[in-house]
Structures are given as structure tokens and as C-alpha cells.
């Protein structure tokens, strides 16, 4: 059948369709897109996963505010960052005190006039079977792993809204997805982190702020070093890549999810577990 369009017209319409199918330009990013000066708070940055995240974000040009209780260990992290040409500062804080952490977020934002990235990574375990788990162990884990995360997100989001750009990265755990015998408190807190993060993603998505969870599997840090070798060997049998992860495996995920490249990724739970829970 004869086409109703001339060849020229067909070409023009074809290219209009192709234009429509092109990915949208990224949303405007707000005031200052100079990533060199982005300020990132990383909790639990004195060692393990948090330290690796702090080093990586600094290497990517962020100014890192390293938070944990141990001022001496934080000073070493800051020294390592500055020796490598990065920019960082240490702020000692006990995250069991959520109000103190919220105040720290306020102080950092007002000192720098901005807050772009918040990585709630600090976490603790107080494992035990539910029949023997004390109220205190339940509350302590909820307080450090979930309540401080909430307080930090609430405080940070005000400043991110002002900057019209923000990345909230909450470190959860595969235990928060699947549960884990002996970790009722920890799994409840990490599941709470997922619900909290998805809610923030819904509330702030239209404002240039994303919120995501990274859910590690077994990662070699002080937290897992104490596991008996037999438990580690058994776990590795269920990990398709046949090894524990490294803190750098999580830092790489964090670098991506806190970058401009991840502006269309929000409310996501990024499982980094070598395939263990697929
Ligand atoms: P880690 O025990 O090596 O380091 C924890 C960090 O949190 C330290 O810097 C510590 O000082 C800080 N911290 C703990 N309690 C604090 C408090 N009250 N106030 C301030 N800072 C506090 O732990 P790791 O392995 O580096 O874990 C980091 C995150 O990753 C945690 O949220 C943990 O639940 C999560 N995770 C770790 C896994 C692993 O296999 N290592 C697996 C799944 C999740």
C-alpha cells in the first residue's frame, strides 16, 4: 500500500520518534554541581566497611566527615585520606545517642554550608537466640542500627532539600531481608532500615534526593573475624563466588550509589553478597 508520507516526511517522523526514545536529560541538579566540594558524612568510619567507604569517597573527590566513637582510629583514617591528597575531618560521636548524632549532622552542614551525602554505616551485633535475648540487647542494637540512622536521615534531609541534591546510603544486611537465627534484634533493625529508606525515597525523590540500602552478605571485618572457621567454611559453601566479600566490595557499591550516575536509582536494596541470597 502506498504510504501517506513522502520519503522526506518519513525520515523526519522517524527521527522524531528516535528523539522521543532518547533517554531524558538528567534532572537539573540544583545550585552547585561541583562534585569536588561535595560533603559526605560516613558513620562507623574508624574501621571495616565504613573506613573503606570513607577512603573511597575521598578518593572520588568528596570531603569526608568520618564519624565513630574512637577518636584515635578516626584520626588515622583522616591522616590516610589527607596523605593520599584527599580531604577529610574526624568527628567522634556515640551513635547510641541519636540526638548527639543529629546535632553533629547540623554542625557539619552549617560549618560547610552544605551536606550532600550521608552514609549510615555504623552498626553493632548482640547476637542470641530469641528465648535468651534481653530487652537491653534488643534496645541497644535498635538504637545504634536504626534509631541513629533515622535521626541522621531526618537531620540530613533538611540540608539536602536546601541543596536540591542528596544521596542517603544506609548500610543494611542480608539479615534484614531473610532474617537470621540468633539475630532477632539485628535483623529487625536492618529490616527497619529498609522500610525507613524506601519511605525516604518516596518522600524526597522529586527533590533530587535518593535513598538506597546496601545489604552486604559476609564481609571480612572485625564483625565477622570472630566467627569460628567452621562457620566461615560452611558459609562459603553457600556463596557462589566462593569467598567472603571485602570492605572495598561495599565501598565500590557505595561510590556508585552516591554518585550522579545513580540519579535514577532510589528506594533500592543493593545486595552485595557474592550471590549468597539470590
Ligand atoms: P565493624 O564492627 O568492623 O565496624 C563498625 C563501625 O561502627 C566501627 O567504626 C565502630 O566504631 C562503629 N560503631 C559501632 N557502634 C557505634 C556507636 N555506638 N557509635 C559510633 N560508632 C559506632 O563492622 P563492619 O563489618 O565494618 O560493619 C559495617 C556495617 O555493615 C554495619 O552496619 C553492619 O551491620 C553491616 N554489615 C556488615 C557485615 C559483615 O559481614 N561485616 C554483613 C552485613 C552488614
List CB contacts of 218: < 8 A, sequence separation 6 or more. 224, 232, 235, 239, 244, 245, 273, 274, 276
Asked if residue 15 is part of any domain, the answer here is no
Own/partner pairs for 94-101, CB < 8 Å, 24+ apart? 94/69, 95/43, 95/44, 95/67, 95/69, 95/122, 95/144, 95/148, 96/140, 96/143, 96/144, 96/148, 98/143, 98/147, 98/148, 98/150, 98/151, 99/151, 101/43, 101/67, 101/148, 101/151, 101/152, 101/155
The CB of 177 under 6 Å from ligand 1? The reply is no
- Taking only the tens place, the pLDDT of each residue in 214-246 is 999 999 999 999 999 999 999 999 999 999 999
Asked if residue 18 is part of any domain, the answer here is no
Cell of 156: 540530613
pLDDT tops 80 at residue 23: no
Segments forming the whole domain that contains residue 39: 34-272
The CB of 185 under 6 Å from ligand 1? The reply is no
Give, for ligand 1, the residue of 122, 192, 271 to mutate: max count of ligand atoms closer than 8 Å to Cβ. 122
Taking the centre of ligand 1 as the mean of its atom positions, its distance from the CA of residue 124, in whole angstroms, is 6
The pLDDT score that the predictor gives to residue 35 is 53
The CB of 170 under 6 Å from ligand 1? The reply is no
Q: What is the count of structural domains for the chain?
A: 1
Asked if residue 11 is part of any domain, the answer here is no
Asked if residue 41 is part of any domain, the answer here is yes
Tell me what percent of the residues of the chain surpass a pLDDT of 70. 87
The CB of 173 under 6 Å from ligand 1? The reply is yes
Q: Which atom of ligand 1 is nearest to the CA of 47?
A: 9
Tell me what percent of the residues of the chain surpass a pLDDT of 90. 87
Query: 128: which strand partners?
Result: 183
- Taking only the tens place, the pLDDT of each residue in 78-122 is 999 999 999 999 999 999 999 999 999 999 999 999 999 999 999
* CATH, residue 50: 3.40.50.720
Asked if residue 26 is part of any domain, the answer here is no
Asked if residue 20 is part of any domain, the answer here is no
Asked if residue 55 is part of any domain, the answer here is yes
Asked if residue 145 is part of any domain, the answer here is yes
Positions marked catalytic? 186
CA distance 197 to 177: 14
Q: Which atom of ligand 1 is nearest to the CA of 48?
A: 26
| Ligand 1: residue whose CA is nearest its atom 23 | 223
- Taking only the tens place, the pLDDT of each residue in 174-215 is 999 999 999 999 999 999 999 999 999 999 999 999 999 999
Amino acid at each position: 500500500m502506498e504510504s501517506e508520507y513522502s520519503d522526506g516526511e518519513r525520515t523526519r517522523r522517524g527521527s522524531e520518534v528516535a528523539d522521543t526514545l532518547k533517554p531524558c536529560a538528567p534532572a537539573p541538579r540544583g545550585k552547585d554541581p561541583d562534585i569536588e566540594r561535595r560533603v559526605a558524612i560516613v558513620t562507623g568510619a574508624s574501621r571495616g566497611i565504613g573506613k573503606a567507604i570513607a577512603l573511597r569517597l575521598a578518593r572520588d573527590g568528596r570531603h569526608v566527615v568520618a564519624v565513630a566513637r574512637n577518636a584515635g582510629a578516626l584520626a588515622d583514617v583522616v591522616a590516610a585520606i589527607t596523605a593520599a591528597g584527599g580531604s577529610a575531618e574526624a568527628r567522634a560521636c556515640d551513635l547510641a545517642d541519636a540526638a548527639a548524632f543529629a546535632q553533629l549532622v547540623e554542625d557539619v552542614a552549617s560549618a560547610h554550608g552544605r551536606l550532600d551525602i550521608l552514609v549510615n554505616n555504623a552498626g553493632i551485633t548482640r547476637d542470641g537466640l530469641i528465648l535468651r535475648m534481653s530487652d537491653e540487647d534488643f534496645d541497644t542494637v535498635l538504637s545504634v542500627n536504626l534509631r541513629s540512622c533515622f535521626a541522621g536521615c531526618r537531620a540530613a534531609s533538611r540540608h539536602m532539600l536546601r541543596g536540591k541534591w542528596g544521596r542517603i546510603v544506609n548500610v543494611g544486611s542480608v539479615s534484614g531481608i531473610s532474617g537470621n537465627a540468633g539475630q532477632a534484634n539485628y535483623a529487625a533493625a536492618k529490616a527497619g532500615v529498609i522500610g525507613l529508606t524506601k519511605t525516604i525515597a518516596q518522600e524526597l525523590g522529586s527533590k533530587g534526593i535518593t535513598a538506597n540500602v546496601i545489604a552486604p552478605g559476609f564481609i571480612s571485618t572485625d564483625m565477622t573475624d570472630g566467627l569460628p572457621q567452621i562457620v566461615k567454611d560452611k558459609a562459603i559453601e553457600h556463596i557462589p563466588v566462593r569467598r567472603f566479600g571485602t570492605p572495598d566490595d561495599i565501598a565500590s557499591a557505595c561510590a556508585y550509589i552516591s554518585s550522579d550516575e545513580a540519579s535514577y536509582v532510589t528506594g533500592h536494596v543493593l545486595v552485595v553478597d557474592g550471590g549468597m541470597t539470590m
